[in-house]
Chains A and B, each alone.
Chain A
């Protein structure tokens, strides 16, 4: 039966005859008997019917446009300028594969080189790969990399206890392969890393990791000291960063990081229920680090006539060449997500990036100020996006009340950190409106 996605359905007989076969079955003659069978699946439908059906399913989602939401905790509602999506939907980008044939893929290669370059400027390290799956996988691979850099003689990776739980879980899974020992450091009374505890635990570490901002939404003020402690112990310093912060906060590369990871999809990509995303992975310009880094690298070179050109480079680290000895198994990455991020960053430019950071910081501060009126703030410091608040009542009751007012409350933290009590993270970004925050506080007053 002819299908509209399969042009040669109409020519099966004729083609078979031309190559000397009598039937399609003959093409499957090498398949052992009994394997081929009819599957218990629905019949195909028309595009229109599926359009209606999918719309009906999607109707059961309630978006943040229909219900003000204060959810953050690693996924944020940012506005994406319309032209970003328009550009990455250009089918030459959208429908291409990994640029193995450089000459006919110069557009994608240059766009990815620009992504690498823009991220390098933000994070302050000169070598950036063409993306990992997400912040979590980038962080986990950074941990494996620090162990490799110590030739497996050091297997300890030190992370704050208040590292994002999703990332921590990915790290744990990835760490099981080479047997990485994950050591956690406590937070202090200000909700930031406890340097004394770190000093005690850093001995023989392969790497030390810290996030900016941390899981509580706070800027870690002693980040440079953390780097020094790591380096003094002979460990690599890995910084995870929300890049929307980097217009107003110093680049981690300038603060001593050897490896920077983070989430690139905060630029240019919608939340999409959590994916696709793209992990940032950047290192110092040190051959030892570059040789050990995971992922694809796009390099600038020239063509046979001396003209500037772009190509995938240093591929001998990668799985398709090095196989079992590769630095990582990553093959498909998140190229299109990275290009969207690049277009968004380029659009913002230095002024836009700074302003974005400032607006988020100010909106977060407003949210925080208002939350203080109705709840306790366990930690005080500079908050960016997320604010940790503690309630006296069970958070579930508060959540139900907010939902009944068509407001989505924050992220319940207790399942991960029971010691914090009935705590939740409430978040703001540049998209947060004053009337949303005011309605939230009013609703909270009714219930707390």
Chain B
């Protein structure tokens, strides 16, 4: 029995002959190989759980609680012979190449507080994002080639921010807001400080952010409250207080305080013109709303054209929807396919700003129901979605009720991967473990799930994505897209081949199981907002998917 041999090897009780036999088996038989890896991973996991679990004393101890002993093998360590825990690896690396270790505390998943770690493994990892500010709004931004590019709503981490044209509104976590006009080059240093190499900006600093520092032209401008303007060019730099007080530190003006209306040239010579014409928050908002509404109009015109496409079976342009309890099917198939809002579905701001809407499915009972009775020869599903969080193991985009032969499920797993699956044969039975009944059950159905690479993590919360899934029986391929780019492509193998597809009763943003035999239902509502769901009876090409994305993308994409 190979398994016992595997355990012997892991326990290091195998004889050399047995060890050789196992090696032969690993080499020749991929099943043994897989089994060996599974066993090693299991034992490692048990070890990790043990060191975690045993640090928390369970009360009913009949076996003496044992703590991990030091592994006795000697360790060559850069830090001078210390044994490394897995959290110390990166720290050691820091010492090894001589970089100040304070950066370590700013890394994702790093040990910001070693004291909280208990033993060397943690059972629950708190998620962390690196960042100091948010790009709240922008108009006509043209990012400098080769630099970082961001979209409205993105978290900005430390590092450079450079654009040639346009205006950006940046909210620092401390509460300070900068309105920056391009061409500009900044370097975000922390929640509290930014360096400006070039550009014009207006800084607004509420009481909670007092002490916010803007570094420019060899000086630090410390805002003691409210608002100042700054212009930095190659040959001159000046600051002007719009309202309140700032202090200048460093450079030749060290210690100067400026009050409302006062200005100071940091470098260069005085020129008479004042620093006017800088956008205010309101002006920026109005400009941005106008631009968004223009984008909205353009999309509407393009969307009218799409409705003529004969391959389009269902189309829900929610963005232009009125406040009713249904969403109109705008495809040629007519109102028989209209979607009915059920439960706490909420209308939320859409991807074109306040003029447009989306539907939010943040509560378990929220769903939009439709029914599409026809046979499909291929599937293309596309929609715009703004994910706030992936709360459930599976988060629904568009799902046939239940899971019968030919039906598909389109959803996102909690690790950020898109899942597109098709039931190939619901009459076959497969042994699976029932979550609900906590035992093995005969599950009806031979089905196949196609996964994309991960496209989402919590740092992308609140961003709009265009997603698409194409099921192409003729080309024998399932292709998935995010923002017009391929993020997954897999062959449909014979075992999972099916070319007569159906939808039937189905839901947007949730999963209906009307014929289940218990009151319990799986919670799969999408915590986010959906717009412009389109269903085609055809396999769209990459170019066509890309066109859908280009036609429908919001401002700043």
Partners in one complex: no
Residues of A whose CB lies within 8 Å of any CB of B are none
Please give the residue numbers on chain B whose beta carbons come within 8 Å of chain A beta carbons, in ascending order. none
